[in-house]
């Protein structure tokens, strides 16, 4: 007997993605507040280590999960990829404004599109190629090479977007096979393990204040990943993806009001160009899937 996929629930998907965005903006604000007194690898490790406490409600789901060698390899690979991305992200957060971090993170879906073409053999139609080029033009608007200095934080954020793209694509693949608790729980466990030796190499004694704020980073990040997985399971990406653009609005407002960062029109413009490209690619993929379903003859 073949099980049919659940009916999409677009309103629920939008709500969960709104929750996801608010949680991730809270994470960026708290990391920005912590500053660079602690090495990025150690901050990332402590965020995930402290976050393990939030796995307690997920123990029943984790005990019943599939732990075959293939599944463990998949979880481990995602954890390793995400670990490097998290280190780069923590580093970028201490070097560049909140709005730039958020806007450049929109490149992740573009890297997913390119990766599918380069490694999975998917064809890139001319419209999708133009959308990808437009997204990179948006990145250039943000970076403005030659007109200002491109800092190591910008370079780290470019790497973060690539690695998070791979991780989130794997999460989307898993969301239809296992429940959200297992997806989030296994990410927390594998990333903690992968970050431990790197954190040990650069370890400095943390203060109680740093541990307090990192605990809340862990809380909001875990909630954000859980909400994102529920959004993916509830509705297609074509429905949930546009909601992520609100993160840039919130990041710009938070950076200006709380951290005294100037509102950079080029960052907003570049982020808008990237997001428009992402929306176009997502919409075209949805149209192609519908056309493919219509082409299948009825039994």
Nearest by Cα to 41 from 84, 72, 93, 101: 84
Instruction: Indicate whether 191 belongs to any domain.
Output: yes
Question: Taking residues 215-242, what's their average pLDDT?
Answer: 81
Tally of structural domains, the chain: 1
Within a 10 A sphere around the Cβ of 7, how many other Cβ atoms?
6
Instruction: Indicate whether 299 belongs to any domain.
Output: no
Instruction: Indicate whether 2 belongs to any domain.
Output: no
Lowest mean pLDDT among 1-5, 88-92, 121-125, 223-227: 1-5
Nearest by Cα to 31 from 268, 228, 254, 263: 254
Instruction: Indicate whether 288 belongs to any domain.
Output: yes
Instruction: Indicate whether 3 belongs to any domain.
Output: no
Q: State the average pLDDT for the chain.
A: 82
Instruction: Please tell me the predicted confidence (pLDDT) of residue 276.
Output: 84
Domain that residue 70 falls in: 10-294
Instruction: Indicate whether 62 belongs to any domain.
Output: yes
Question: Taking residues 41-58, what's their average pLDDT?
Answer: 88
Q: Is the dihedral of CA 15, 19, 20, 21 positive or negative?
A: positive
* Residues 6+ positions from 264 with CB-CB distance below 8 Å: 97, 99, 100
Instruction: Indicate whether 148 belongs to any domain.
Output: yes
Tokens 């491109």 found at = 150
Tell me the pLDDT band of 193, cut-offs 50, 70 and 90: very high
For residue 41, the SS3 value is helix
Instruction: Indicate whether 32 belongs to any domain.
Output: yes
Question: Does the pLDDT at position 97 exceed 60?
Answer: yes
Lowest mean pLDDT among 1-5, 40-44, 54-58, 273-277: 1-5
Percent of the chain with pLDDT over 90: 20
Question: Does the pLDDT at position 2 exceed 60?
Answer: no
């Amino acid at each position: 007997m073949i099980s049919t996929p659940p009916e999409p629930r677009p309103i629920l998907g939008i709500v969960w993605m709104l929750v996801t965005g608010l949680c991730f903006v809270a994470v960026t604000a708290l990391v920005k507040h912590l500053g660079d007194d602690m090495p990025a690898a150690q901050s990332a490790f402590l965020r995930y280590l402290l976050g393990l406490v939030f796995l307690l409600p997920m123990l029943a789901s984790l005990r019943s999960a599939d732990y075959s060698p293939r599944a463990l390899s998949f979880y481990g690979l995602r954890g390793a990829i995400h670990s490097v991305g998290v280190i780069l992200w923590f580093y970028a957060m201490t070097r560049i404004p909140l709005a730039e971090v958020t806007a450049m993170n929109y490149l992740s879906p573009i890297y997913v599109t390119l990766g599918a073409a380069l490694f999975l053999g998917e064809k890139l139609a001319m419209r999708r190629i133009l959308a990808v080029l437009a997204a990179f033009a948006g990145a250039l608007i943000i970076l403005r090479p030659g007109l200002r200095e491109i800092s190591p934080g910008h370079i780290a954020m470019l790497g973060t977007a690539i690695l998070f793209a791979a991780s989130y694509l794997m999460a989307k693949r898993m969301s239809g096979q296992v429940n959200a608790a297992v997806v989030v729980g296994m990410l927390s466990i594998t990333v903690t393990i992968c970050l431990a030796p790197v954190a040990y190499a650069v370890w400095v004694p943390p203060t109680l204040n740093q541990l307090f704020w990192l605990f809340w980073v862990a809380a909001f990040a875990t909630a954000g990943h859980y909400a994102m997985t529920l959004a993916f399971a509830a509705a297609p990406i074509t429905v949930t993806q546009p909601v992520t653009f609100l993160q840039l609005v919130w990041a710009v407002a938070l950076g200006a009001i709380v951290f005294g960062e100037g509102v950079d029109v080029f960052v907003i413009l570049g982020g808008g160009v990237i997001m428009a490209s992402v929306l176009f690619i997502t919409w075209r993929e949805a149209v192609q899937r519908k056309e493919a379903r219509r082409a299948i003859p009825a039994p």
